Structure 1
Amino acid sequence: MAGTLALATACKDNRADEVGTDADYENSANNNTIDDETILVVENDDNAKFLNEAAEMQLEEISLGKLAQQQGTSSHVKELGKMMENEHSQALRELTTLSQSKSVTIPTSITERSKKNYDDLAGKTANDFDKAYSEMMVDHHKDAVDLFEKAANDSEDGDIRTWASSKLRTLRTHLEHAEVAKKETDRTKS
């Protein structure tokens, strides 16, 4: 018992020597437990960040898809808008279920950036709208493929990895359709 007490006291004394400012504590090289916990939090934050970014993308593509169906003038743009609305709505339903299973709250309405994109597009007419929408869909889907590939390859969560991987084919198809629509609208004179 005396040995245990001495060990406990020695540990307590060593710990007391280590106590310093928060900066000292964060910068401590002997702080393996905190570093491991920090890594775990960062990994969980990466998963939550992906789920949130994916939800924001789905919501934006749905709202812009509806707008394209209303304001688009070419059949390519209207069809692309319908595809975006339908398929991103399905992806959002799946994402909502996945996020709930991970106890992660995701957005349910578009962000300020998405609202700005929507307003900018809504102010365009005829072929100017078609060109801007098609170009935006190309850019958005290149970004989406990159985001989902990263999650499919790097996420520590198997469910997130699997879901992200399952969406890549659809996102690549969307990108191809957006590129076709962009080529068509580029040929049309304003």
Structure 2
Amino acid sequence: MKKSNLFSKALLGAAVVTMSFGMGSCKNEPKAEDPKEVAEDANEANLDTEATDSLEDDSQYLVDAAEVDMKEIELGKLAQTKSTNPDVKALGKMMVDEHTKASEATKALAAKKGITLPASLTEKGQDKYGDLNDKTGYDFDKAYTDAMVDGHEKTIDKIEKASEKAKDPDIRMWAANMLPELNKHLEHSKMAKEKVDAVK
């Protein structure tokens, strides 16, 4: 009797261990692929022909721009709701309006060229949104304006490269047309950052 009791206890223990391993493995399941990686993979597959080979490299410029547009729109909305600083709120509104326009131009060109763009905010964008959303008051304003200056400097650098090095003439023209607006965004971001920095 005791033996069978011990045996059933051992079986129960094994079942619990198996269940806990089973439940633990759920956490290790691969996450959904990042929207940017999905777009890049699609472009690699779709544009890997002699006729579209040069577009495969150029497609990255549009993918990167689409990623930035989505991020700036979401962060701009956040700035309008979280900040109490009128300069930061105005900067946020400008980013939403301007990057919505830029996004439409990028989508139209991508559609014309058969280039796939990220369908939603990337993991990097979500992380940045989460970091900013955790901040309040001056800390939020400082982090947001710093991010706008830093982000636009990096974007301008990429778009300048596209305007000079893209093999497709339409993509070079698209990039050249974007640069004046991006430089304007950077100037506005710097002005807002100076005003925020002056508060402390």
Tell whether the structures are fold-level matches, with TM greater than 0.5: yes
Aligned to 2:85: 74
TM-score, scaled relative to structure 2: 0.73
d(CA) in 2 for partners of 1:61, 1:176 = 15
Q: Which runs of 5+ in 2 are unaligned?
A: 1-47
Post-superposition, which runs of at least 4 consecutive aligned residues in structure 1 deviate over 3 A? 37-43
The answer to whether the 8 A contact 1:59-1:110 is kept is yes
* Residues 1:181 and 2:192 are matched in the alignment: yes
- Given residue 128 of structure 1, which amino acid in structure 2 is its aligned partner? D
d(CA) in 1 for partners of 2:78, 2:188 = 17
Structural RMSD (CA): 1.7
The answer to whether the 8 A contact 1:66-1:82 is kept is yes
Aligned residue runs from structure 1 range 1-190, under 5 A = 43-189=54-200
* Residue 45 (structure 1) shift: 2.3
The answer to whether the 8 A contact 1:65-1:85 is kept is yes
d(CA) in 1 for partners of 2:88, 2:110 = 31
Q: Percent identity?
A: 44
- Given residue 144 of structure 1, which amino acid in structure 2 is its aligned partner? T
Count of aligned pairs between the two proteins: 153
The answer to whether the 8 A contact 1:59-1:108 is kept is no
d(CA) in 2 for partners of 1:53, 1:42 = 18
* Residue 60 (structure 1) shift: 0.3
TM-score, scaled relative to structure 1: 0.77
Aligned to 1:16: none
> Which deviations, in whole Å up to 9, do the C-alpha atoms of 1:124-163 show, x marking residues without a partner?
0011100000000000000111011000011111111111
